[in-house]
Amino acid sequence: MVKLTMIARVTDGLPLSEGLDDGRDLKDADFYKQQAKQLFKNLSKGQHEASRMSIETGPYLFHYIIEGRVCYLTLCDRSYPKKLAFQYLEDLKNEFERVNGSQIETAARPYAFIKFDAFIQKTKKLYLDTRTQRNLAKLNDELYEVHQIMTRNVQEVLGVGEKLDQVSEMSSRLTSDTRIYAEKAKDLNRQALIRKYAPVAIVIGIVLMLFWVKNKIW
């Protein structure tokens, strides 16, 4: 069955809506929500290989679809039919685009469309029992196939993001170290010039002083 449902903007990972009642019967719900947010963060960096994907995490599967720069994601039991999970997401996508499509790009705060939860809860109930005539018809719908949707492991997916973050951090550190080195090099050059020309400047200063005193006396 569906455990979690979250919707986010792909361009920046901003969460737009989620199922408010989700996770009540899910152990470690906060852990899986954090994983979902990390997935959104990775997607915002362009780290996705397909517009539809399933991701293994513990005894569950994340399923997501990306349409119109929005990611619709759900967490389901592994035993829950993949076909129903993606059709559930399709229903959410169609309604979300219809109701909020013109406001998605301008949304500035997290969960700007939290009222969409009402539709999430209503739709989730329709997909709760896989044996209903409605859902059996969807499972037998040969026009909707999910066999080619890739399945990956969550550590593999999130690991890509962690490695890129490490590269970015190392690059920033290297840039900072280079800047510090350049500043130290300037200081050393300045000190070298002072040591080199200070005696000459002192001698010239003394000569000019003597010349000035001589003129005053005479």
Task: Kindly state whether residues 133 and 201 are assigned to the same domain.
Answer: no
Task: Kindly state whether residues 139 and 57 are assigned to the same domain.
Answer: yes
Task: Kindly state whether residues 21 and 47 are assigned to the same domain.
Answer: yes
Residue with the bigger pLDDT between 94 and 1: it is 94
Task: Kindly state whether residues 134 and 183 are assigned to the same domain.
Answer: no
Domain count, the chain: 2
Domain holding 117, by residue range, is 1-167
* Mean pLDDT of the chain, nearest integer: 82
Helix axes 82-100, 117-126, angle to 10 degrees: 150
pLDDT tens digits for 80-133?
999 999 999 999 999 999 999 999 999 999 999 999 999 999 999 999 899 899
Count CA atoms closer than 13 A to 109's CA, side-chain side.
3
Task: Kindly state whether residues 176 and 163 are assigned to the same domain.
Answer: no
Among 41-45, 118-122, 169-173, 197-201, the range with the most confident prediction by mean pLDDT is 118-122
Q: Which of 15-24, 98-107, 115-124, 167-176 is predicted with the least confidence, judged by mean pLDDT?
A: 167-176
The residue among 69, 68, 3, 11 whose CA lies nearest residue 36 is 3
